[in-house]
Amino acid sequence: GAGVSQSPSNKVTEKGKDVELRCDPISGHTALYWYRQSLGQGLEFLIYFQGNSAPDKSGLPSDRFSAERTGGSVSTLTIQRTQQEDSAVYLCASSLLGTSGGTGELFFGEGSRLTVL
Protein backbone atom coordinates (compact mmCIF):
# COMPACT_ATOMS: atom_id res chain seq x y z
CA GLY A 1 0.00 0.00 0.00
CA ALA A 2 0.91 3.65 -0.15
CA GLY A 3 1.44 3.92 3.57
CA VAL A 4 1.20 2.01 6.82
CA SER A 5 -2.42 1.18 7.53
CA GLN A 6 -3.77 0.50 11.01
CA SER A 7 -7.17 -0.66 12.15
CA PRO A 8 -9.31 0.05 13.98
CA SER A 9 -8.54 3.75 14.30
CA ASN A 10 -10.51 3.84 17.55
CA LYS A 11 -11.48 1.04 19.91
CA VAL A 12 -13.45 1.33 23.11
CA THR A 13 -13.63 -1.81 25.22
CA GLU A 14 -14.55 -2.92 28.68
CA LYS A 15 -11.99 -3.91 31.25
CA GLY A 16 -11.19 -7.62 30.99
CA LYS A 17 -11.98 -7.97 27.30
CA ASP A 18 -9.43 -8.97 24.67
CA VAL A 19 -8.58 -6.66 21.77
CA GLU A 20 -6.76 -7.10 18.49
CA LEU A 21 -5.08 -4.27 16.63
CA ARG A 22 -3.97 -4.70 13.05
CA CYS A 23 -1.09 -3.21 11.10
CA ASP A 24 -0.58 -3.46 7.37
CA PRO A 25 2.95 -2.21 6.60
CA ILE A 26 4.25 -0.65 3.41
CA SER A 27 4.69 -3.34 0.79
CA GLY A 28 8.26 -4.63 0.73
CA HIS A 29 9.23 -3.30 4.14
CA THR A 30 10.94 -6.05 6.07
CA ALA A 31 10.91 -4.40 9.48
CA LEU A 32 7.79 -3.73 11.54
CA TYR A 33 7.51 -2.07 14.94
CA TRP A 34 4.79 -1.57 17.52
CA TYR A 35 4.91 1.38 19.89
CA ARG A 36 2.56 2.66 22.58
CA GLN A 37 1.98 6.35 23.23
CA SER A 38 0.20 7.39 26.38
CA LEU A 39 -1.11 10.92 26.80
CA GLY A 40 1.77 13.34 27.32
CA GLN A 41 4.36 10.59 27.13
CA GLY A 42 6.96 9.60 24.59
CA LEU A 43 6.67 6.55 22.39
CA GLU A 44 7.24 3.32 24.26
CA PHE A 45 8.74 0.44 22.28
CA LEU A 46 6.73 -2.78 22.40
CA ILE A 47 7.97 -5.26 19.80
CA TYR A 48 10.05 -5.40 16.61
CA PHE A 49 9.87 -7.84 13.70
CA GLN A 50 12.68 -8.11 11.14
CA GLY A 51 12.24 -10.47 8.24
CA ASN A 52 12.24 -14.10 9.36
CA SER A 53 14.25 -13.44 12.50
CA ALA A 54 12.83 -14.03 15.94
CA PRO A 55 11.01 -10.88 17.07
CA ASP A 56 12.43 -8.57 19.72
CA LYS A 57 9.75 -8.72 22.39
CA SER A 58 11.73 -6.90 25.04
CA GLY A 59 9.29 -3.99 25.24
CA LEU A 60 6.09 -5.91 25.89
CA PRO A 61 4.90 -4.74 29.34
CA SER A 62 3.28 -7.99 30.45
CA ASP A 63 2.31 -11.45 29.24
CA ARG A 64 -1.13 -10.08 28.40
CA PHE A 65 0.49 -8.50 25.34
CA SER A 66 1.47 -10.52 22.28
CA ALA A 67 2.02 -9.89 18.61
CA GLU A 68 2.48 -11.90 15.49
CA ARG A 69 3.40 -11.15 11.94
CA THR A 70 2.04 -13.50 9.34
CA GLY A 71 3.81 -14.07 6.05
CA GLY A 72 6.23 -11.26 6.74
CA SER A 73 3.53 -8.67 6.15
CA VAL A 74 0.45 -7.96 8.27
CA SER A 75 0.90 -7.85 12.02
CA THR A 76 -1.62 -8.20 14.83
CA LEU A 77 -1.08 -6.90 18.35
CA THR A 78 -3.27 -8.69 20.89
CA ILE A 79 -3.99 -7.46 24.39
CA GLN A 80 -5.72 -9.96 26.64
CA ARG A 81 -7.80 -9.11 29.69
CA THR A 82 -7.44 -5.39 29.06
CA GLN A 83 -6.84 -3.02 31.97
CA GLN A 84 -7.53 0.70 32.17
CA GLU A 85 -3.80 1.44 32.10
CA ASP A 86 -3.68 -0.14 28.63
CA SER A 87 -5.55 2.92 27.29
CA ALA A 88 -3.21 4.59 24.82
CA VAL A 89 -2.52 5.09 21.14
CA TYR A 90 -0.83 2.07 19.61
CA LEU A 91 1.39 3.03 16.70
CA CYS A 92 2.80 0.72 14.07
CA ALA A 93 5.78 1.59 11.90
CA SER A 94 7.61 -0.14 9.11
CA SER A 95 10.95 0.38 7.41
CA LEU A 96 12.71 -0.98 4.39
CA LEU A 97 15.69 -1.94 6.49
CA GLY A 98 15.75 -2.81 10.14
CA THR A 99 17.33 -0.30 12.45
CA SER A 100 20.38 -2.50 12.46
CA GLY A 101 20.83 -2.02 8.76
CA GLY A 102 21.61 1.61 8.15
CA THR A 103 19.33 4.55 8.79
CA GLY A 104 16.16 2.45 8.53
CA GLU A 105 13.78 5.40 8.21
CA LEU A 106 10.50 4.61 9.93
CA PHE A 107 7.11 5.21 8.37
CA PHE A 108 4.33 5.35 10.92
CA GLY A 109 0.67 4.53 10.65
CA GLU A 110 -1.98 6.83 12.10
CA GLY A 111 -2.35 4.70 15.17
CA SER A 112 -5.13 2.84 16.94
CA ARG A 113 -6.58 4.69 19.93
CA LEU A 114 -7.58 2.20 22.61
CA THR A 115 -9.84 3.22 25.48
CA VAL A 116 -10.48 0.71 28.24
CA LEU A 117 -13.48 1.59 30.39
Partner 1 sequence: KNQVEQSPQSLIILEGKNCTLQCNYTVSPFSNLRWYKQDTGRGPVSLTIMTFSENTKSNGRYTATLDADTKQSSLHITASQLSDSASYICVVKNQAGTALIFGKGTTLSVSS
Where does this chain bind partner 1 (CB under 8 A)? Answer: 4, 35, 40-45, 48, 50, 56, 91, 93, 98-100, 103-111
CB of residue 77 to partner 1, shortest distance in Å? 15
Q: Which is nearer to partner 1, 42 or 71 (CB)?
A: 42
Q: Which is nearer to partner 1, 76 or 107 (CB)?
A: 107
Q: Which is nearer to partner 1, 79 or 93 (CB)?
A: 93
Q: Which is nearer to partner 1, 7 or 99 (CB)?
A: 99
25: alpha, beta or left? (left if phi > 0; alpha if psi -120 to 50): beta
- CA–CA separation, 81 and 70 (whole Å): 23
CB of residue 48 to partner 1, shortest distance in Å? 6
Q: Say how far residue 41 (Cα) sits from the centre of its chain.
A: 16
Contact 110, 90 (CB under 8 A): no
CB of residue 16 to partner 1, shortest distance in Å? 27
Cα–Cα separations (whole angstroms), residue 45 to 2, 49, 71: 24, 12, 22
